[in-house]
Structure 1
Amino acid sequence: MHRSAPRLSRILACAAVPVMLVAVGCSSDSGDEKDTASSASPTATEPTVEPAKFSELPDACTSIGKKTIESLVPKAKTKGGTPGTSSDTVTRGSCSWNGLDDNGVKGSQYRWLDVGFTRFTSDQALGSGAERATAEYTKQVAKAKASEGAKKVADAPAEGIGEQATAVTYDLEKTGEDFKYATVVARTGNVVVTLTYNGAGYAGAKTPSGADILKDAKKAAGEAVGAVGEGGSGDTGTSASPSAKAPDKSDDKSDDKS
């Protein structure tokens, strides 16, 4: 028995439905895979700065050995040194010594020694502690070279002291006498060490040798830098905001001729 044409069309249409559903299903699966692949792609992360090497500073007044102090500053007024003032000793510290070695009719020898430490933490916005210390190191070298009234200014690398160091020497006339100066600026990790040593002869005494002043300054600076490594090290992390507030400028209260 033959079926009519309209009825046959309806049967063929129903038979095609499962095929269409399968096609739709495949299309839907393909889209899910694309979405999954897209969501699994890694997202960019902000780079972090290198943690600071040192988390604290040594006691400035004990950073240089007693024998060295006795040799460089004979008859020091305060053998233990006079600490500078700072509202943030974790970030900055300093100490100074001065003394006049009176030799009667042979005249007198005056010496003054000062050592200062500045520490920088790593900061996401400002950079790593080492980078910030390097900028301060450059600044302190320039400052030493621009000392008011200085004559015969010279600078040279100070080998073997910290990661980088520069020695600046110059002559300066004060209180009617000729002073010989040597400033050694050094950086170790995230800490900058600035040491200044000077001397003069009074009452007819011979002016000290500039080479001797420089040699002694380098010796003391080497000890001060070494003291940094003996303190605490390793920041636990980086700061999301500027590190410790700007330290006050250290003031030396001692009665000196520097």
Structure 2
Amino acid sequence: MSEGTMQRRAQRDQRDDQGAAPAPYGYGQRGKEQRARRLRALAGAAAVPVMLVAAGCSSGDSGSGGESDGAKASGTQTPSSVSASPTVQAAAYRKLPKVCGVLSKKTLEDLVPEAKSGKEGTSSDTSTRASCSWSSLDNNGVKGSQFRWLNVSLLRFESDATRGEGDRLAHDYYEKQIKDAKAVAGAKNTKAAPVAGTGDEATSVSYDLKKKEGAFKQQTVVARVENVVVTLDYNGAGLAGDKTPDAAELTKAAQKAAKEAVAAVSTANTASSSPEPSASTSASAEPSASASKKN
């Protein structure tokens, strides 16, 4: 081989080396550097979602003023969402007197002179509901007879956290009793008037009622004292031709008896005789100011 030929082959080999393709990825120094750069880029991209997930969890737990998702899921109440149990003022009067003893002997002699004793009504709890009635027939033979009938009913209301205070419940019942007295079937000449000096409020309702036995004059006095309602019914009639009693006299007698019955309720609940308040009443045991004045 000549010297010229050898020089041309050397130049061709040098050109081939300069134009040759780079070594495959992963081989050689340059491939190692490219692979290292790609691994670092992938590691950085993977870290971004992790940071976003962590930030999302953090924002859910620390919302401004709200409960955490865990607290909502479990139904746990925060202290600010818990309300206090409702309470009501305890009823001033906690018992009833012996109902057949609320009227004096003299009052009974005036209203029902022929009555021997009172008949107590049936009650499942005489501390909250009681009644007593008396009947009198003064037989004058051929001149006829005078009939009188008297009934006293007592109803006491306890304070209740759901329904309200005892005196308010008693007031509602008081108004219902008056309404019922005014709406008696067959009643004529119905009149209603307030009664002074009898409990906290009192009303007298009078009317005429004709029955097969004769013409009756009916008097109903409804009174409320604190959480107790007193309803007194009194009527009279002249039978077998005897004269009809005077309505004004019967009204006066009924109002006097109602005032006496109200006083008996208050006396039965004086401080010295009052029992301890019921454990079921979620209210203060102090009686109201008006009760203190009465006692």
Normalising by structure 2, report the TM-score. Answer: 0.64
* Deviation at residue 80 of structure 1 after TM alignment: 2.4
Answering whether residue 107 of structure 2 is matched by residue 49 of structure 1, we say no
Answering whether residue 121 of structure 2 is matched by residue 84 of structure 1, we say yes
* Deviation at residue 47 of structure 1 after TM alignment: 5.3
SS at match of 2:97: coil
- 1:98 corresponds in structure 2 to 135
Please tell me the root mean square deviation across aligned C-alpha atoms, in Å.
2.2
CA-to-partner distance for each residue in 1:61-94, whole Å, 9 max, x for gaps? 0001111111111211xx2200000111111000
Percent sequence identity over matched residues? Answer: 54
- 2:163 corresponds in structure 1 to 126
- 1:199 corresponds in structure 2 to 236
* Deviation at residue 230 of structure 1 after TM alignment: 1.4
CA distance in 2, matches of 1:60, 1:134: 21
CA-to-partner distance for each residue in 1:83-116, whole Å, 9 max, x for gaps? 0001111110000000100122332100000000
Verify the 8 A CA contact 2:90 2:281 in the aligned structure 1. no
Verify the 8 A CA contact 1:161 1:221 in the aligned structure 2. yes
- 1:145 corresponds in structure 2 to 182
Verify the 8 A CA contact 1:156 1:168 in the aligned structure 2. yes
Verify the 8 A CA contact 2:193 2:204 in the aligned structure 1. yes
- 1:236 corresponds in structure 2 to 277
CA distance in 2, matches of 1:120, 1:48: 16
* Deviation at residue 225 of structure 1 after TM alignment: 0.5
Structure 1 counterpart of 2:216, from 161, 179, 183: 179
SS at match of 1:230: helix
Answering whether residue 117 of structure 2 is matched by residue 73 of structure 1, we say no
SS at match of 1:50: coil
Aligned residues: 200
Distance 1:55 1:212, change over 3 A: same
CA distance in 2, matches of 1:239, 1:224: 28
Structure 2 counterpart of 1:169, from 206, 212, 225: 206
Verify the 8 A CA contact 1:61 1:82 in the aligned structure 2. yes
Which ranges in structure 1 are unaligned for 5 or more consecutive residues? Answer: 1-40, 242-258
Structure 2 counterpart of 1:114, from 148, 151, 163: 151
* Deviation at residue 165 of structure 1 after TM alignment: 0.4
- 1:27 corresponds in structure 2 to none
CA distance in 2, matches of 1:238, 1:191: 20
SS at match of 2:87: coil
Distance 1:53 1:101, change over 3 A: same
SS at match of 1:80: coil
Larger Rg, first or second structure (1 or 2): 2
